[in-house]
Chain A
Amino acid sequence: MQLKEIEYLLEKYNKGKATLAEKALIESWYLTYNNDAPGASHQQLEEDQEDSLNKLLFRINSTSKKSYARVFAIAASLLVFITAGALIFMHHQFPKQHFFAFAKPVKNDIAPGGNKAILTLANGNTLVLADAKNGKLASQGGVVISKTADGQVKYAGSSQNALSNTLVYNTATTPKGGQYQFILSDGTKVWLNSASSIKYPVSFIGNERRVELSGEAYFEVAHNAAKPFRVVSNGQTVEVLGTHFNINAYADENEVKTTLLQGSVKVSSAGSSSVIKPGEQAQFNNGKINVVSGVDLDAAVAWKNGLFYFEDSSIQEVMRQFARWYDVDVKYDGELPSRHFSGEIPRNINATQMLDILNFKKIHYKLQGKTIVVMP
């Protein structure tokens, strides 16, 4: 029998097209083949069994929302870890080694991002916010900038105290692997995701509140019907009176996505404008605004709650978020499967732990310093 014939036979078998006699041959032969080959060591078997079960339970826990109540019983411990992780994460103190019992420590691992940002004042001076002590940071045009006990940067003071009618701007920038929360002088809260930047006046003088964003931020805008709040990013303007919404305007993403959680916002660009309702997302691309309804809101703001959240995302989408959070470059080697990922992963785990979870889905990787090579 030729090798080719054997290959053909196996191919037929695997497709369920083998004749009864061929099936009998393959299955009977299978029973005799390699039965005396060396087995795996006990240690390896125990490790792999535990690892396998943990990954399965983690995946079930993170993807089967419908049967949550039932799943809860057994996965309670995992849930507690995740919740605790997300909560503690917000306070940026967390003993990493306790997170996943199944992940083995890896040399040269890359730690997740944290609360890091740089604040550029009107006079060009910069402040590294992670290092700054709590209390007063600076004073700008009559407005006091301070760092609160929970590590936010807060602008306080009224525009009446401002010395002149000209706007004084500050710029907050997060590096890759950083995020930060700000409270602007009107009480609006801004969560700035990694590799993002926002420029805003220290005090909102005049008849509008206008800020400029690049990257991603979540806004909880303080209501003020007399002074609309405007966010300008990549040629798109979002106008609101007071509401909660997320804008994803990274230069390396295909489109600017504005997702509304509460209230109503108007999204406009040079040519057109659309008003979106809660649960809708405006996707701005090439000057066109496309409104999508029934958007998963948890997904849009998961980053703010300390989670990566993927829903039917391509490996490239996953890795772009990954690169921003772990401050790494990503390269691709070979043809990657066009599979899609769904699920949530806490953001406070090390890079290799995150990659191990992806590895389970048949994506492999190599760590070369600050570069991750992704392979099929």
Chain B
Amino acid sequence: MSGYNSYSDDELIILLKQGDLNAFTAIHKRYYGVLYSHAYKRLADREEVKDILQELFTCIWNNREVINLNVNLQAYLYTAVRNKILNVYKHQKIKSDYAASLESFLVNNEPTPDESLRVKELIALVDAEVKSLPAKMRLIFEMSRNAHLSHNEIAEQLNISPLTVKKQVNNSLKVLRLKLGTHFFMIFF
């Protein structure tokens, strides 16, 4: 299972489309935290947040074969949650709060006209929620982002000694050198 945590989003999507439940689980583990955190701040209603995320993940599994995720998994998930939240707003009884906010935004700000730029901003916004996650969830998310943690940081998060981390990193570097060795020669000599 842990192997899946280091797969890229694109790799997970390919596996998901083949019906791989491990890939589905990995997507859930990778994104549930940031999505939850993001949605909770905006809805402040635990049940509502759970419901919209459950709907989203159920929909992903049910439509795994036909879903068009070519865009990018993050963009897909984050915009889907945004749209669900906006839908909740529409149905909410107490509207004054967000209505006032929207009105003041209209007066004081300029909307970003470029859609792809807005999606980029949304991705950055949701990704930033990683800071508020419990350590284990944070690590899973960061592993997938290829975050360059120091040996000490990794050791601290995984609760193992920095020496062990160093050894494992060196081992994998050795393997990499062996694999890449011949190519290096071809390129440089």
* Secondary structure dominating the interface of A: helix
CB nearest to B47 among chain A residues: A364
Interface residues on A, range: 35 or more
* Docked complex Cα distance between A48 and B33 (Å): 9
A-B contact count (CB 8 A): 151
* Docked complex Cα distance between A172 and B44 (Å): 54
Q: How far is the CB of B78 from chain A (nearest CB, A)?
A: 11
Q: Which residues of A contact B46 (CB under 8 A)?
A: 40, 44, 48
* Secondary structure dominating the interface of B: helix
- State whether A53 touches B25 (Cβ < 8 A): yes
B106's partner among A25, A44, A48, A59 (CB-CB below 8 A) is A25
- State whether A40 touches B40 (Cβ < 8 A): yes
Q: Tell me which residues from 72 to 93 in chain B have a Cβ below 8 Å from any Cβ of chain A.
A: 82-83, 85-87, 89-90
Which of A71-79, A90-98, A112-120 lines the interface with chain B? A71-79
Q: CB of A37 within 8 A of chain B?
A: yes
- State whether B111 touches A45 (Cβ < 8 A): no
Q: How far is the CB of B45 from chain A (nearest CB, A)?
A: 11
Q: How far is the CB of B16 from chain A (nearest CB, A)?
A: 12
Q: CB of B21 within 8 A of chain A?
A: yes
- State whether A26 touches B22 (Cβ < 8 A): no
Q: Which residues of A contact B101 (CB under 8 A)?
A: 29, 32-34
- State whether A56 touches B133 (Cβ < 8 A): no
- State whether A11 touches B19 (Cβ < 8 A): no
Q: How far is the CB of A249 from chain B (nearest CB, A)?
A: 36
* Docked complex Cα distance between A30 and B105 (Å): 10
B40's partner among A39, A46, A49 (CB-CB below 8 A) is A39
- State whether B54 touches A55 (Cβ < 8 A): yes
Q: Which residues of A contact B167 (CB under 8 A)?
A: none
Q: CB of B53 within 8 A of chain A?
A: yes
Q: CB of B118 within 8 A of chain A?
A: yes
Q: Mark A337-370, 1 if CB is under 8 A from B, else 0.
A: 0000000000000000000000010100000000
Q: How far is the CB of A101 from chain B (nearest CB, A)?
A: 15
A74's partner among B22, B105, B106 (CB-CB below 8 A) is B22
Q: CB of B109 within 8 A of chain A?
A: yes
Q: CB of A335 within 8 A of chain B?
A: no
On chain B, the number of residues with a Cβ less than 8 Å from chain A's Cβ atoms is 56
Q: Which residues of A contact B96 (CB under 8 A)?
A: 3
* Docked complex Cα distance between A40 and B43 (Å): 11
Q: CB of A102 within 8 A of chain B?
A: no
Q: CB of B6 within 8 A of chain A?
A: no
Q: How far is the CB of B31 from chain A (nearest CB, A)?
A: 10
* Docked complex Cα distance between A316 and B172 (Å): 59
CB nearest to B43 among chain A residues: A34
B42's partner among A6, A21, A33, A44 (CB-CB below 8 A) is A33
Q: CB of A13 within 8 A of chain B?
A: yes
A28's partner among B99, B103, B109, B129 (CB-CB below 8 A) is B109
- State whether A39 touches B20 (Cβ < 8 A): no
Q: How far is the CB of B73 from chain A (nearest CB, A)?
A: 17
Taking A28-B118, A40-B40, A40-B46 as contacts, is the C-beta distance between A60 and B113 under 8 angstroms?
no
* Docked complex Cα distance between A40 and B49 (Å): 11
Q: CB of A35 within 8 A of chain B?
A: yes
Known: A37-B44, A73-B21. 7 other contacts (CB 8 A): A6-B95, A6-B99, A14-B83, A23-B115, A32-B109, A53-B29, A74-B25
Of the A-B pairs whose beta carbons lie under 8 Å apart in the complex, a sample of 14, sorted by A's number, is A6-B99, A23-B115, A26-B86, A27-B112, A29-B109, A32-B101, A34-B41, A37-B44, A40-B40, A40-B46, A42-B133, A45-B36, A45-B137, A56-B58
